[in-house]
Structures are given as C-alpha cells and as structure tokens.
Structure 1
Amino acid sequence: MSIALKTPQEIDKMRVAGRLTAEVLDYITPLVRSGITTGELDRLCHDYIVDVQGGIPAPLNYAPPGYQPYPKSICTSVNHQVCHGVPGDRQLRNGDIVNIDVTVIKDAYHGDSSRMFQVGETSVQARRLCELTFECLWLGIVQVKAGAHLGDIGHAIQQQAERAGCSVVREFCGHGIGAKFHEEPQVLHYGRPHTGIRLEAGMVFTIEPMINAGKAAIRTMADGWTIVTKDHSLSAQWEHTILVTETGYEVLTVSEGTRRPPDSIGS
C-alpha cells in the first residue's frame, strides 16, 4: 500500500482547499430550512464554489469504478439516508436531519468535509444521534499523531457509538486525500487499538463516521448512489480532513463558522 506523504507546499494548498470547503458549509448553514429542496441547496453550493471561490465541486461527474457519474455538486443525506444522497426535488421539513457533504478542488487539491443540520424542532433521538456522531468524529481525531495506528481511530469511534446503543456503518470509511479525491489509506470507523497502519507526519486523510440509531445494515437506492439504513433508522455523519503532524493533528477543513470540539474532548 502506497501512502503519499504531503510536502509543505502541498499541505499549504490543502489548507486553502479545506478552508474553502468549510466556508461553503458556513454559507449554506442559514439556508438549510423547512421548504427548501435539496436540489436548491446543491445549486446554491455549486454557484458559490464556482462563481465566488473559483473552485471546482469534486463530486460533480465523479465516477469511481462500477458507478455512473455522480450528477450533482454536493451530497445531501436526509434522515435514514446514510451517505451520498443525491440532491433533487425533496423538500426539507420540520424535524428532518440532513448531512451536507462538500468537497472543493482548488489549485488541483481537495478539501472534504460534512456537517449535520437539524431542520426546525427535531426529535430527542435525532438530536442525540447528531451529538453522538460529532463526539465520535472528535474522539477519532484526537487519536491522530505520528506513531499512532489507524486502528486507534476506529476503536475510539466504535466504542463511543456502541456504548450509546448505536451502530457504525462498516461499508464506507474515511480515506486519504490530496491531488486525488480518494487515496490510500482507508480509515475504518471501527477496529482494535494498536493495529493497522502506523501514522506518519505528512499523511492527510478524512475521518467521517456514519452512525446509525438502529442496526448497521445498509442498502443502495435505485439511483445507484444514495445509501440508506435497511431498518429505516436515522443515520448521522460528520467529516473533517486531517493532517498528521509530529505531535498530533491539524484539522484542515476549518473556517470562521466551524464548530469547535465538544467540551468533553477539547482540542
């Protein structure tokens, strides 16, 4: 397995791409409200990335092996949709939760991040799941430092999720990122400590746990992209792009509106 360590020049470009990605999520935040369609959210984000930032929305026409080209510029996954939800005519309604996943290419490098949004008054279960998943993200992030192992990240996430009676989606994971959208390594959100690849300074990858309120089983919708829970339980996801440093980590997808780590975890 070949994992490219990023040069200081590449890291600088990834900081820019990461900041732009986070700023798209800042921009769209006040617009996520009851009545708006996921397709309109996609159009707004697309125009912001292209016309304001001078960037490229990486998901648009992205076609990994075995897939048809992805038709939109962002992913919008609502309620029991786990990931890769294709924006369209669906109107958001009071009580919905939605993950918006944005990837911006700037000067040939990628930034990748997603956030959960709650529309109006959501259920106690929905609020708890969104908070739990955010905690899982950060429990994974704080494991990152040179000399640690990928299994440390997955173990921390899995323990927190299962302790709360929830489950971790296993078919999808974080990934290396840089000049390519998806690079090595694969970053599993479950595992055993002190196992897997040893982290080195200069690695850049995403951590993006998908946590289900019910069982972990998933299925793919007819569009070939949208993933949903088999039992129709709610699902949540948060994502950041992370740089491994000698002494710890740097979150690259940060902006003025980026939510700080949970108080219980710290930064």
Structure 2
Amino acid sequence: MGFPGTWMTESESMVYRVVPKCACSTIGQIMYYSDHGSFFDGDIHDASNGLHKWALEDSQPLITDNVRAHRSYAFTCVRNPYGRILSSFFDKICGIQRNGKRYRGNLVPLIMQKYGVEVGDPENGFEFDQIASFRRFLLFARDTIRWRRPMEPDIHWSAMSGHISTFILNGGTYDTIFFTEHFNDGMQTVLSSVETPVPVELAEIPRFNESEGHGPKRAHPIEDYFDDLSMHLVYEIYKRDFQLFKYDVENPGNKMPLGEIDLDEVHAKLGE
C-alpha cells in the first residue's frame, strides 16, 4: 500500500501526511517555500515538481526509505469534524472547481436527484436553503462511509483517522499532530524542529485557501447547521476522530479542541 497522501520536501527536511480540508494548501506551500524560497505558482496540489509526493512514481522509493527509517520530522494536521464536513460541503458540493466545473462530474447531479440536495449556482448568487441541503448531504456522506453506496467515500469527507492511519500501518511514525485551529503554534513546532534550506518566517506566510471564492458563503453560524439528528450522524461517521483528536462532540459551535493529542494513543489505536 505504501504511503498515499504523503508529501516530502526535496531536501528531506520534513514529511507530511496530507489530510484534506485541514490547511493542506498552506502546509504544502510552506514546504515548497522552505526548499525554494518562493511559492508554487498555482495550487500546490497540482505541483508535479519541487516537492516529493506519493502520487509521483519517482518520489515513492524516496518517501518509503525516508519514512520507514524515520529520517525526517513527520507530521500531520487535524480539524474539528463539524467544521471539516461543513467546509467539504461548501467547497466540493456547492462550489465551482478550479477547472470551472462541478466536482467529480456526475457527483452533484447524483446527490441532487437521490438526496434532494440543492447547491445553487453563480447566476442566482448561490441562493438556496443551506441548512436543509447540508443536512441531506450529511445523509449521503454517511451512506458512502458506512455502506460505500451510492459511491465510495470521498477523501474530503472520509474520517481523518483513516487518512492518518495508513502512514502508521505501513511503518511511519508521527513526531507531531497539530490542530488547524492552532495553526501557527503547530506549524511553528514543526519549523523549529527542522533545518530548512530557506528560513521560514511563519508570520509572513499568507494563507492559501484554494476553495475560497468559488461557491456560496456560509450564511449561518456553524452550530445552526447541526440539529440533534445531524450531530448523531456526525458522531457516527467521526467517532474516532472526536476521541483521538479531542474535539467537542456535544457543541458544534466550539471549534477548539478540549485537550492535547496523545501521540502514543494515536499510534497504538491507528496502528492496530
């Protein structure tokens, strides 16, 4: 299986296991900058040079050797499951993608037809009932994860623990896992632990949000999207994420973690 979703700087200063919707664009650009002194011109997910990625065949043996020998500082980043699934809905389901089209071709028409989800469109200013549509999307996301129908679960809403576990199961060890909600502190921990060819002043790094501006703006506070049933579905899908990464399952309005991540617990439970 190897190390899917793993990126490594060309200098091998650091190794990162990507978790979609958890500041991955910004992290990737910081890694790129730390080697080259400039940012990748475009979406870092499209970069096919300047950064080792598991998706690039030539990078695979280099990543494998590094990770299994734990030669470099390895890390990942997590996010509150309530905020992450809501962000996935607005970006991937409602938003127009970089290529000017809807995400994954027939995905949006499928969930519109089968689940009654509305997504709006740019012509009408994305006017639709966001709360009702999001709750219906949650049913779809749960069905893909629980029963793998009407399609396989998508990486943007499959559980963080599933992404993070592949790295451990194949012989990797994390040195830190930090919170998107405490991004500067977490990323600074990484940068302070490694030597990079180009120094990185984190305060001067812009945030790269590639999904911004391509879809509707969230019209309500996050807690308004989750009623009792929605909270139950989110917990069913992301129980392990809430437990391992210490997020508040009782209050969708509290995006902050309730405690620190226990790395030993993460390695033990996700390495089984």
- Whose helix proportion is higher, 1 or 2? 2
TM over 0.5: no
Q: TM-score normalised to the size of structure 1?
A: 0.25
- Whose strand proportion is higher, 1 or 2? 1
Whichever of the two has the greater Rg, that structure is 2
